[in-house]
Each structure stands twice: as C-alpha cells, then as structure tokens.
Chain A
C-alpha cells in the first residue's frame, strides 16, 4: 500500500482526539450528574461545582491539540499530504498513543474523583480549595502524557 505511512499517522491523530475525547465526555458527564444533584439541594454551590465538573474536560482538549499538531506535521491541514514511509507513520501513531490512552483513563478517574470532591463541597463549601486538589492531582498524568506526545510528534 503506497500511503500506509499516512494512514498510520492519521490513525494516531484520530486516536488522540477520539479516546481522550471519550474519556472527557464520560468524566464531565459523571461530574455533571453529581453537580446537578448538589445544586438541586443548594444552588449557591453552582460556581464551585462547575469548576469541579470541568476538570475532566481537559483531556479532550489535550487530545485535540495532539491531533492538530500531528495533522499539521503530516501536512494534512495544509492541503499537501507528506510522503511518509510505514515506519514514519507508525512512529506518529506511537507518539499519539500516550495522550490517547492516558487521556481516556485519566479523564474517567478524574470524573469519579470530581464526583467525590463535589460530595465534599456539598457538605463543606468552605473546603472547596482542598476538595479541588484531589481531582487536580489526576490531571498531572494527563499533562505528562500530553508532553510526551507533543515532544514526540514535534521531534519526528
């Protein structure tokens, strides 16, 4: 197949956006349900709960960022697709995997941790800062995966 390299690279870009996006949709949805429950009882919590709900949404953005960079690198955004060997295409695919896989899993766990944090804020609104730290810690690994993918894609 002549364009196997391009297909592999495109598969990498698509995976980054797809899996990280799925994870974020799940995480934000889960935290949103908890947030809705919390504000049903106390509408004053809206802003705090909204921040906690948004935390698992970042993985989707990271995945999209890696997908854009990859598409740009392989020339698909500019209109002129680069000539890639299968080996080069595979390298793009592998470069995209960290944010695809870690993005998916970390967004799900971050959503669950956000739900727990919403429980804390419901009972103790003044502990919002501390409660937010727990889901924020999960973000660390999504950021590490983003750095890994971005550096790898740029260096190819």
Chain B
C-alpha cells in the first residue's frame, strides 16, 4: 500500500512557520555579542531549558527535536536513510579510532545521534572487532578500515575508506529513494563531496592513486577525469566542472572553498523550495529536514563568528539562503 503523508505534511506546514527566514537571521546577526545571540535563540524557543545555554547544547537540542518530530509522524524511518547514513559512518569512524587508540573519552562529544544504528552498537562492534551486527555495507567498510588502521596505523587511509563507503551508500540509497528530493539530495551530496575531496587532494599534492581511492563512484561525474584534473590544481578541477552538469559550481570553486560550500547548500535549498507547495508525498518532510539542517548550520556559523569576534561581513558572505 502506498504510504500516506497527508497528516505529516499538514503538521510540517505548521512547523515551517517557525523556521528562521532572512529577517530573523538579520535579527540574530544584529545581536552584538555571543551571549546576546544565545539569549535571542533561547527566546525563540531554541535549546533545552534544562541544559546550560551553550551553542553546542542549543544546536544539538534542535537537531534532536527535528528527528523526534519526524519519527513521531513517520513509522518507517528507513525512508530517510539518505540523511542518516553519514551519521552512522561518523560514529563508525569515531568507534574505530577509539578502539585503536584505546583512549577514554567523553562519548557525547564523539558520537552523534540520528543514525540508523545506535552509537553504542557501533562502538561495541569496533571494540570487539565484530561488525556483523551492522548493516552489510557498513560492516564491510568497518572491517576493512579497522584492518587497514591496525596494519598501517594510517588514520587518513582509514578515513578515506569510511568516507568513500559512506558516500557510495548514500548514493545508492538516494537512487533507490521514493522521492525526488531525496534522490537529488543524494546525488548532489556525493558529487559535491567528490569535488571537495578532489580539490583538497590537489591542494595538498596527493597522488593520483590516492585521489582516485578517495573519490566515490557517481554517475554524474567522471571520477577518473576529476582525479586527473585535481593533480593540476583547483583551476583544472573548475575547468573540468565546466564540462559537466555542475558547470555553475566552477566559478564558486575558483572563488573559495567557502563559496563552493555555499553554492552547494543554496542549490539544495533552491531544489527543495517547490516542496512548500506540495501537500502530499514525502518531499515536504525531506525538505523540512534539509531546511532545519540549513537553519542550524547558519546559526552555528553566526555563533562561531560571534564567539571568535569575526566581522559581520565575514558572516554575511557565508550565510546560506533560507527555505522560508
């Protein structure tokens, strides 16, 4: 039977009213100090009143609220795997490094919530070197990454195995997703990550072999050509992009990495904006999750700029377009 999201979309319409638009972001920007900005957010109902008023507490609480709301309305959360896979791999990366170094660290700072698998289960799998309880792709990547780390002690190699596996699983989940928003998001996420990785590899002078190993397969980009372009620097990557569907990203990439990140986020927002007028399907729910992520990212940027006393101009040029 086809899933019905009519109730959930109607609730989301109500929630969209409390999303931050440009005017609210302007108000937040006009807060003179970090503390003032935190108080402004608390007045807007952000954060958990039972926890101290810190940026991390506020932003974590908002992420948790978003997933709690969605899980209240959607029984089968696997439809949002595209968003959750990255969190699983983040936890896997942390768990493997924790198991390797055998250090005692505060778990709440290492692991994130919102993934498909509980962080405790991921940690247990890495500690016991038995990944069979994890989803198949994750288990395979986890075993390979841990093995590589134990044999080479190379944390970067471990990272690229897991990052690539995460991106490829996200891509596959996106291709199998029922909604266009999820499909577009997955493709853009993987393509943007590949462009970002290639640019960074080029900048730090990584070999062709390393870059090719790090890039995730993505039908929208020729990863071999991208890796070869990366050897010749950012301009060559931008030149390659001009021949692809991501031609508009080339200019942003030439400008700065921050401009490229902003271009990617703004593209996602422009893709999801039509969902504001879609009364059915999963699309508006996916759009709301992305809108909340974007909102949280923007608030994080403002807070960290305020905390580091950066000029307002620096914040403005990084601020993304808002969904509402």
Are A and B physically bound partners? yes
Contact of A34 with B10 in the complex, beta carbons under 8 Å: yes
Contact of A37 with B279 in the complex, beta carbons under 8 Å: no
- Asked if A60 is at the interface (CB within 8 A of a chain B CB), the reply is no
B12 partner residues in chain A, CB cutoff 8 A = 37
- Asked if B11 is at the interface (CB within 8 A of a chain A CB), the reply is yes
- A interface residue numbers (CB < 8 A to B): 30, 33-38, 40-42, 112, 115-116, 118-119, 122-123
Interface size, chain B (Cβ < 8 Å): 15
Interface stretch, picked from B14-22, B129-137, B210-218, is: B14-22
Contact of A115 with B279 in the complex, beta carbons under 8 Å: yes
Cβ proximity bits B1-25 to A, threshold 8 Å, 1 near / 0 not: 0001011111111111100000000
Q: Say whether, besides A33-B10, A115-B10, A119-B10, A41 and B15 are in contact (CB < 8 Å).
A: yes
Q: Say whether, besides A115-B6, A123-B17, A41 and B11 are in contact (CB < 8 Å).
A: yes
Interface of B is mostly: helix
Contact of A36 with B7 in the complex, beta carbons under 8 Å: yes
Contact of A37 with B280 in the complex, beta carbons under 8 Å: no
In Å, the complex CA distance between A34 and B14 comes to 11
In Å, the complex CA distance between A90 and B17 comes to 55
A42 partner residues in chain B, CB cutoff 8 A = 14
Q: Say whether, besides A115-B279, A116-B279, A119-B279, A37 and B7 are in contact (CB < 8 Å).
A: yes
Closest residue of B by beta carbon distance from A41? B14
In Å, the complex CA distance between A34 and B9 comes to 7
Nearest Cβ on chain B to A77's Cβ, whole angstroms: 38
Q: Say whether, besides A115-B280, A116-B279, A119-B279, A35 and B17 are in contact (CB < 8 Å).
A: no
Contact of A34 with B7 in the complex, beta carbons under 8 Å: yes
A36 partner residues in chain B, CB cutoff 8 A = 7, 10
Contact of B14 with A40 in the complex, beta carbons under 8 Å: yes
B14 partner residues in chain A, CB cutoff 8 A = 37-38, 40-42, 122
17 A-B pairs besides A33-B4, A42-B14 with CB distance below 8 A are A33-B6, A34-B6, A36-B10, A37-B7, A37-B8, A37-B9, A37-B12, A38-B13, A41-B15, A115-B10, A118-B13, A118-B279, A119-B10, A119-B279, A122-B10, A122-B17, A123-B17
